[in-house]
Amino acid sequence: MEETLHLNIKDISHLLKNREITSFALTEFYIKRIKKYDSMISSYLKITEDIAYEMAYEANKRLEKKEGGMLTGIPLGIKDILCTEGIETTCASQILKGFIPPYDATVIKKLKKEGFVHLGRLNMDEFAMGSSTENSSYQITKNPWALDRIPGGSSGGSASAVAAGLCVASLGTDTGGSIRQPAALCGVVGMKPTYGRVSRYGLIAFASSLDQIGPITRNVTDCAIIMNAISGHDPMDSTSIPQPVFDFTEALGKDIKGLKIGIPKEYFIEGIEPDVKKSVIECISIFEKNGAHVEEISLPHTEYAVATYYIISPAEASSNLARYDGVKYGLRVDGKDIIEMYKKTRLKGFGREVKRRIILGTYVLSSGYYDAYYRKASQVRTLIRKDFEEAFKVCDLIVTPVSPTTAFKIGEKSDDPLKMYLSDIFTIPVNLAGLPAISVPCGFDSLGLPIGLQIIGRPLDEARILNAAFFIEQEKKLKKIPDMFL
């Protein structure tokens, strides 16, 4: 079963369909790995062992009848922000402790239709607010490549579990880089689809105009396979795009000759670690040597992206999180009257970073400040989107670093929120513009820590992004799982 750690989903599916292995045995293998190794990295909040074995049993029955698709019998981990019927979903927050959704998110329904196996709930920054998974109210997840370092966030549990081989692949969410940044820091592949490409129904909202669900995988082929399963129009989500979805795996392996690649000068700034810059430039040279046309472009409003994001996202969060009041579900701390009950529940239920963002968001939406902050930020967001529109008139894809640094040490930025926020400087503009982007491993720094390459495309151009990422993956052939987990 060890060999499955080095195979893609397509190859594992072939073994399952040929009855060379069973889903039950594969699931047992991954659950044993979780029990053996997860104490080192704390990626799982909950192992859904009994449910996983039931789903594996059902998958075996489908496979025996020669039914099922590519994901039938494949064990996946799920970020604890996606509603799953009958399974506790907490968003790594005390305020949702004990909340058991009565329905499945659309992406979970789609995966169930495919016949996946649900291994468990993956740790995250509380309500997806963070870049290090240090803001979880339950545990701090560690980077499998260096246990004293963060895995990135907010989908840190999803990325670390994949990197350590504790699931075949996982789902994460990306509001300002929360799939791509942890994928880069953990040496795996992470895709943020076009806003509206994947249904958000059943995703517990942080910032509704920015949130997007996507795959975190060990290779690009797996990323394409999961994108096939979760994409598509959903009438339950008013922002879902009514566009047909084709097989993304068919886009892989195509010639990149003639591809026009833009390199934004604003993304190669002071503060980027030399090893990160070197790895990204090496990838750009590889593209060029293989027939792609590379040219410098400008995204002039990039410098305002972080400030814009930290007005818009807290504003939306303050509205979305108002529903957690101790009345309908989750934590309730009684008081002498309803107002005191609200205060006590939120004081105990929300963590420090969530409170910070709620306060900030409430302030920028308040009377007298709305025009000065939120309206202005919305106008700048439009300018950022127009920068990308102009850039895509002269290029097909944009290539940048994912993060200015590799994984930093646990606790290094905890007391400096601004420093932490700046770690998402290269990923945030993509969410503000609603574009698709991927993080693909492109090298290691001098300490052996992974580096990620970001490839950004036009709306709904995931196929071209995946093909470019696949090309780099084939050229680089980097190690996927750290030695301590093999």
- Residue 189's identity, in one-letter code, is V
Token readout for 298 is: 């400008």
Contact 455, 442 (CB under 8 A): no
Q: What is d(CA 425, CA 404) in angstroms, rounded to the nearest whole number?
A: 8
Contact 181, 151 (CB under 8 A): no
Which position among 42, 137, 154, 423 bears the catalytic label?
Answer: 154
Report the greatest alpha carbon distance in the chain: 71
Which residues on neighbouring strands pair with residue 117, listed in sequence order? 75
Closest Cα partner for 324 from 206, 202, 237? Answer: 206
Which position among 13, 23, 43, 79 bears the catalytic label?
Answer: 79
Which position among 43, 136, 137, 178 bears the catalytic label?
Answer: 178
Told to judge if 178 belongs to the known catalytic residues of this protein, a careful annotator would answer: yes
Q: What is d(CA 10, CA 224) in angstroms, rounded to the nearest whole number?
A: 11
Q: Which residues have CB under 8 Å from 394's CB, separation 6+?
A: 260, 262, 295, 297
Token readout for 18 is: 């040929």
Told to judge if 170 belongs to the known catalytic residues of this protein, a careful annotator would answer: no
Contact 317, 357 (CB under 8 A): yes
Helix residue ranges per DSSP H, 392-446: 417-421, 428-433
Counting every residue, how long is the chain? 486
The DSSP string of 244-261 is ----GGGGTT---TT-EE
Q: What is d(CA 299, CA 429) in angstroms, rounded to the nearest whole number?
A: 10
Closest Cα partner for 417 from 357, 340, 344? Answer: 357
Residue 92 — left, alpha, or beta (φ > 0 → left; ψ -120 to 50 → alpha)? left
Told to judge if 238 belongs to the known catalytic residues of this protein, a careful annotator would answer: no
Catalytically active residues, by annotation: 79, 154, 178
